[in-house]
Amino acid sequence: MKNYFLILFLILSNACSTNASKAPQKGVAKSAEHVSPVLPGFKSPNPTVLDMNGKEVKLHAVLKRQKTVLVFYRGGWCPYCNRHLQRLRKIEGKLKGLGFQIVALSSDSPTKFQESLKRHKLKFTLLSDSLVNAAKEFGLAFKVDDKTNMKYLSFGINLTKAAGTDHHILPVPAVYLIDKGLLIHYMYANPNYKIRLNDSVLLQAAKAI
């Protein structure tokens, strides 16, 4: 499995160095399986997101600080996302040693991700994409169908309350490695939200940049 991801990393890095792949489709896909993520070799989009105080921030202003591990996750209500954030917290020191900051985006409102910061003792940057500007521009946004939304409600998960709006749009979980020049070097996205990028693969990809 590790070799698979490393091979994927090398293929993407080499192929997109000439921007051979077509540009991603922005907007909202009909399902997680139909998203079209921005690929390595492209410049990072510059959507407007919100900081923990609800202030508008252009993403490039954050990415230009240093090399970035940019993480898209569904929300603090998702146990798989929470476990992923905890794993990132444990390797944050190693990533910092490689010159990377961690920036995590979700469709949660600023109030909700403040709860995540406190609950999980996270020190890295969390930004709210409650209006899903970033998810759309990175080609990761998809619409949650009514049946799934009702299922979530039966589990006590209220997407409207989490985002502060009723768009019911989520991002496919993804990880990007972006340099200070805003160039994307690596991308992992999986429509199966239960499968997340292996920590050792992330570290090896970071070392390769």
Amino acid present at 114: Q
| pLDDT above 80: residue 25 | no
DSSP label of 20:
-
Give the pLDDT mean for 67-79: 96
**Band of residue 23 on the pLDDT scale cut at 50, 70, 90:** very low
Q: Residue 13 pLDDT more than 80?
A: no
pLDDT for 27: 86
Q: In this model, does residue 19 exceed pLDDT 90?
A: no
Residues 45-63: b if buried by 16+ CB within 10 A, e if exposed = bebebbeeeeeebebeebb
Domain of residue 196 covers 2-208
Report pLDDT digits (tens) over 134-175.
999 999 999 999 999 999 999 999 999 998 888 999 999 999
Total structural domains within the chain: 1
DSSP state of 34: G
Coil vs helix vs strand at 156: coil
State pTM to two decimals.
0.87
- What CATH number is associated with residue 174? 3.40.30.10
Quickly state the pLDDT bin for 123 (edges 50, 70, 90).
confident
